[in-house]
């Protein structure tokens, strides 16, 4: 495997594990990105923990796939789809908001991350 591909895979895996670990350990810090004004704080913290665990698992799976290009392509695709679905869910939630303050930053971040995983998938072929 090329050195750049290996470094990109490791960096994306570390990013997944780090952000997921933080969301799992300190969910109150992550709720600002996922909770709306007036939402139940305990529910938002629980959701942040679930998303954090998902991130850690996706990062671990990506880390373990770094030596097998076929598996790496599958994991990159899985990660890209996960981010794309997160972006779609965020856009739907923003469109349903009634307070007039759209928050599109999470959707943009998810789309950019999805594109990074698609680039990783393309490089692994």
Residues constituting the chain: 125
User: Exposure pattern of 108-124 as b/e (b: 16+ CB <10 Å)?
Assistant: eebbebbebbbebbebb
Q: How many domains are there within the chain?
A: 1
Host domain of residue 28: 3-123
pLDDT in tens, 18-37: 999 999 999 887 777 666 66
Please give the angle made by the CA atoms of 9, 11 and 77, to the nearest 5 degrees: 40
User: Exposure pattern of 27-50 as b/e (b: 16+ CB <10 Å)?
Assistant: beebbeebbeeeeeeeebbebbbe
Confidence (pTM):
0.84
> Residue 40 — pLDDT band, cuts 50, 70, 90?
confident
Burial of 70 (0-12, 13-18, 19+ CB in 10 A): exposed
pLDDT at 96 (0 to 100): 77
């Amino acid at each position: 495997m090329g050195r750049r591909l290996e470094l990109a895979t490791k960096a994306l895996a570390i990013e997944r594990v780090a952000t997921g670990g933080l969301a799992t350990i300190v969910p109150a810090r992550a709720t600002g990105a996922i909770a709306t004004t007036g939402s139940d704080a305990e529910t938002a913290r629980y959701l942040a923990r679930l998303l954090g665990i998902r991130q850690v698992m996706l990062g671990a799976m990506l880390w373990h796939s770094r030596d097998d290009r076929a598996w790496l392509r599958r994991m990159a695709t899985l990660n890209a789809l996960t981010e794309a679905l997160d972006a779609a869910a965020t856009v739907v939630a923003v469109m349903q908001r009634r307070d007039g303050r759209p928050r599109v930053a999470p959707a943009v971040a998810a789309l950019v991350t999805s594109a990074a995983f698609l680039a990783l998938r393309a490089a692994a072929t």
